[in-house]
Structure 1
Amino acid sequence: KPSLRRGKSEIITIGISTGGPNALTQMLPMLPGNIGVPIVIVQHMPPVFTKSLAASLNAKCALTVKEAQDREDLKANTVYIAPGGKQMKLVASADGLNRQIKITNDPPENSCRPSADYLFRSVGDYYVGRSTAVIMTGMGSDGTKGLEILKQKGAMIIAQNEDTCVVFGMPKKPIESGMADVIAPLNKIADEIVKSVR
């Protein structure tokens, strides 16, 4: 087993699908406005809906919540939601010092665009041993392959427990395979995220 873990996490990344808007509406407002890291979310949704989801979450959260834009620098205390119908990954800025969001029209993965696998793979390229990935309620298995890569690169993995998922699909394999470092009910996920960055 690689022992790349763990410094404090410098980024939080979340994959979520069915039941996601309600789960995020409960979980994100529990996070402090000074968490000190960016949070990047893939919520499976068609175009347009992600913008209104971001606006509704922004009104309820201490953190700034927005729909992600292409070539935007990642900033601490900001939540970026992948635009529906697009893929989102992280890339280096031109000077190599910062991480930026890259929005693409790359094909769907696991029939999903945005896809958690697509995002998670890119996080592994830049945050070895310094990331937290959260896999939450949702149908299917999007995110599992990306989590395997992140796990090899020392990420901390938090999975939502079966009881509080609307559909126990996306967290199922990460939990059953032993990949998840923490298995938490919805009302405890925010605490676990905060622990990982402190």
Structure 2
Amino acid sequence: MSVALTSPAAPRPVQQEPLRVMLVDDSIVIRGMISRWLGSEPDIVVAAALRTGREAVNQLERINPDIAVLDIEMPELDGISALPLLLAKKRNLIVIMASTLTRRNAEISFKALSLGASDYIPKPESTREAGAAETFRHDLVRKIRHLGAKVRRASHPTAAPSLVPSADRMREIVARAPMAAPAVAPVVRRNFSTQNPRVLLIGSSTGGPQALMSVVAEIAPVIDRFPVLITQHMPPTFTTILAEHLARSSNRPAREAVDGEAVKAGHIYLAPGGRHMRVVRHGTEPVIVLDDGPPVNFCKPAVDPLFASAVEVWQGSILALILTGMGSDGMRGGKDIVAAGGSVIAQDEATSVVWGMPGAAAHAGICSAVLPLNQIAPKLVKLFSGDRS
């Protein structure tokens, strides 16, 4: 994900214990650099900086971290091998996988998400590139704060719901459809549009890959008759891998969008990392437009450009879905969709890894439904079949 360095960080809580972070990386340079960065933050403390996954597993109980930043490539025990061992010892440990932007590491990061990692972060190829290092620093601190908010709320149960769900926990949530909890805070629900939707737009960020694959696996009747366009906050290479995973999950064509291509039913179009995806109308056909403009909502690709541009093409015949993610991206574009006569659905707080984007949409009063993850696909199928009940 591309971020602007001036983006607002998560609110810093007052008079709370700092988040305990365990760094695990075989590079002494990386360990020292990240330790200095995090050590300068008043609400974060580096509880340990370790060289191997084996050290992390052996010392986990003693260190008792809230969050582990886990490198993928390490001697003795690499990150993907250490991950399940760490989670077996501390089920609610938040793990952020760190890797350079290679296809192999992107594949491993996706596997880590399925094994219970909460998020991933791409490391710069060289720490000597000031811009890349500062972006990495900003993104890492932001992720630690947002994901760490789950830890803080869990220690104060009256404030908000549970910890970041692991892969096993997410499967439990999906399996328990009748038991899934609604959004905690009361939000205004709008009536669904009286217009039949002709396109499905989806925006997501932290926790999004797993949520996306869960949804697309169950909406074949929608994909077969209507186009699906997705913006997931994710860097290049990672979006290539995500598109392949979406194709396997849905058993339908899914790939990174190409500038100038026509948008057709039966296909899933994913915004490529590092470029915004918009739609325009050329004659009678909607067409993809990719641009290299500045970040929007501190992200590139961003959800709002897709949502806002779609209004010019489909007017009120739009159904937009906002899934788990940090920040508020998608809320302003969602307002445009609702103003044009379309509808917005948001994922609920209990099943979101981070209830930032969907929460912002819910509290803005633009949602016609706020649903747990396991209820979203059935609702989409009903709405696209003309059933608004």
Find out whether 1:55 has 2:244 as its counterpart.
yes
CA distance in 2, matches of 1:145, 1:113: 16
Q: SS of 1:99's equivalent?
A: strand
Output the amino acid matched with 1:161.
D
Output the amino acid matched with 2:216.
L
Specify the alignment match of 1:111 in structure 2.
298
In the TM superposition, what whole-angstrom CA distance separates every residue of 1:35-60 from its partner, at most 9, and x where no partner exists? 40000000000111101110122122
Q: Which moved more, 1:161-170 or 1:176-185?
A: 176-185
Which residue, 176, 180, 184 being the options, matches 2:363? 176
Q: Which moved more, 1:160-169 or 1:23-32?
A: 23-32
In the TM superposition, what whole-angstrom CA distance separates every residue of 1:114-157 from its partner, at most 9, and x where no partner exists? 11011100011111221100011000011111111111001111
Q: SS of 1:171's equivalent?
A: helix
Query: Which portions of structure 1, spanning 4 or more consecutive aligned residues, are displaced by more than 6 angstroms?
Result: none
Deviation of residue 5 (structure 1)?
Answer: 3.5
CA distance in 2, matches of 1:163, 1:49: 26
What are the residue-to-residue correspondences of 1:134-145 with 2, within 5 Å? 134-145=321-332
Q: SS of 2:214's equivalent?
A: helix
Q: SS of 1:195's equivalent?
A: helix
Aligned residue pairs: how many?
Answer: 194
Q: Which has the larger radius of gyration?
A: 2
Find out whether 1:9 has 2:197 as its counterpart.
yes
Q: SS of 2:324's equivalent?
A: coil
Report the TM-score, using the length of structure 2 for normalisation. Answer: 0.48
CA distance in 2, matches of 1:108, 1:153: 25
Is the Cα contact below 8 Å between 1:88 and 1:104 reproduced in 2?
Answer: yes
CA distance in 2, matches of 1:30, 1:103: 28
CA RMSD of aligned residues (A): 1.5
Find out whether 1:130 has 2:130 as its counterpart.
no
Q: Which ranges of structure 2 fall in alignment gaps of 5 or more residues?
A: 1-190
Deviation of residue 4 (structure 1)?
Answer: 10
Higher helix fraction: Structure 1 or Structure 2? 2
Find out whether 1:88 has 2:277 as its counterpart.
yes
Specify the alignment match of 2:218 in structure 1.
30
Q: Which ranges of structure 1 fall in alignment gaps of 5 or more residues?
A: none
CA distance in 2, matches of 1:92, 1:125: 8
